[in-house]
Structure 1
Amino acid sequence: MSRRFAVLSASAVLLFSGVLTACNNDDDGGDPAPTETTTSAAAASSAPAKDEYVPASSEGPAKNVPKPTKPDLADEESVEGAQAFLDYLSDARAYAQQTGDTSLAREVTAEECYSCTEHYDNLDSHYEAGGWASEGYEKFTILSEDLPVDSYGLYAPEISIEADDITIWDDKGQVVQEARGEDGSEDRILVHLDYREGQWTYVTTAPLGSS
């Protein structure tokens, strides 16, 4: 299931400049003005560590994004295994959003999910053009106590979906698309999953009763 993005209309760009506040060194014992050495030290202390994760912003794409690893449980044919798989799928999608590397998400997504393939292709093209995106994490939670099978022989448990806000920037750091987060806890949705040769594959999601 691909996210819908609302295209922003053109708007004026607001430039924010820092405001320097002078500190008076009065005779009554006021604090002295900060020196160049102390301000440089403060800036260095607030800077992220070399390998620290930095989320995407208008200043640039995310840095040091952890590459997800699929746990063994995510290959188990059970409710717990299906949930672990969906957690991994969410991580793989979030990784793709922040890095432009869609390979992990593609590996566990069925080719029949054309909207997924289109979304991954768009991400590839956007990053190749110099743009980037925020995480936009989607959380899939299985609500079913077992794994019912649909008319196509696919597992189709009921789930809820929660999605964070997402922002997409162009190569100049200008916002080109945004979408607000979603709380789908009240929606009745089925996720269709295939299981074969000891592995899960995501096929699609659909409203309950649509098929």
Structure 2
Amino acid sequence: MHLPRYLTQTLTLAALGALVLSGCGQKATGSIPEPGDSSSSAASSVSVSAGGAGASDGATAEVTERFSGGSKAPEGEYRAADEQGPAQNVPKPEAPAGMNVETTEGMEKFITYYQDMRNYALQTGDVQEASLLVDKSFTDEHDFYTALEDLYDNDGWMIAGGITIHYNMNLLTSLGDGEYSIGSNFEVKDSVLWLDGEATYNDNSQVIYDGVDLRIKFVDGRWKVLSANVVE
């Protein structure tokens, strides 16, 4: 048993400004323009006070902000991430009414909400709500969220890579004590990771062919994801 590749591609910061991607990543070629390429990148530089003890009077630092689509989007206008910057104004999913009930309908609503919150975290680096949907024992998933935070905190971002969970309720098994197993497949979009002017491409086209044993549990009045293991 092992985790699907979309989970094992864990991001870890090896040093400030350097990122290592385990799995099938590879640096992009010239077909994808780098953020530092003046022909493709849209960056806004602003001067800010250096501040802090020991800072000289009038000291400033250049802060570069990058925008997908080449410019800052108007408030409320969603723009997907691209080689020029991270996604903008990403709509935050809302928990559906009737989700936290131990019924088939509640379970299906939860799985969709988990999927949507994970995709939101991938686009924004805001992993708070997504992490609350995952049991603490699912350490690989929590490591993934920590790595996403690190990526965005270091001015990196992800392009695409979202998941769609295809589950078969005919393969639903109750394991007792509120725990359930659901036969599933995870469809994962190919992705590009940007950091320090370098792109790492991930081919996720084969993930859909892996059968996944998705385990969830209803505990303390709410659902939690316990694990997602490929069925050998």
* Alignment partners' CA distance in 2, 1:142 and 1:73: 19
User: Which residue number corresponds to residue 90 of structure 1?
Assistant: 115
* Alignment partners' CA distance in 1, 2:28 and 2:182: 42
Inter-CA distance 152–171: structure 2 relative to 1 (3 Å threshold):
farther
User: Which residue number corresponds to residue 201 of structure 1?
Assistant: 224
Higher fraction of strand: 2
Superposition CA RMSD, Å: 2.9
Higher fraction of helix: 1
User: Which residue number corresponds to residue 75 of structure 1?
Assistant: 100
SS of structure 2 residue aligned to 1:134: strand
Write out aligned runs for 1:56-135 (5 A).
56-135=81-160
- Larger RCO, structure (CA 8 Å, separation 6 or more): 2
Residue segments in structure 1 that go unaligned for 5+ positions in a row: 19-46
> Which deviations, in whole Å up to 9, do the C-alpha atoms of 1:168-189 show, x marking residues without a partner?
10144x31x2222336554332
User: Which residue number corresponds to residue 25 of structure 2?
Assistant: 7
> Which deviations, in whole Å up to 9, do the C-alpha atoms of 1:79-103 show, x marking residues without a partner?
3222211111111111111111110
| 2:105 partner amino acid | E
* Of 207, 213, 218, the match for 1:190: 213
Whether contact under 8 Å (2:79, 2:87) holds in the other structure is yes
User: What percent identity do the matched residue pairs reach?
Assistant: 25
Q: Does 1:181 align with 2:204?
A: yes
Following superposition, the deviation at residue 132 of structure 1 comes to 0.9
Inter-CA distance 79–125: structure 2 relative to 1 (3 Å threshold):
same
Aligned residues: 180
Inter-CA distance 125–158: structure 2 relative to 1 (3 Å threshold):
same
* TM-score when normalising by structure 2: 0.67
Residue segments in structure 2 that go unaligned for 5+ positions in a row: 10-22, 41-71
Whether contact under 8 Å (1:164, 1:182) holds in the other structure is yes
Whether contact under 8 Å (1:83, 1:141) holds in the other structure is no
| 1:101 partner amino acid | D
* TM-score when normalising by structure 1: 0.73
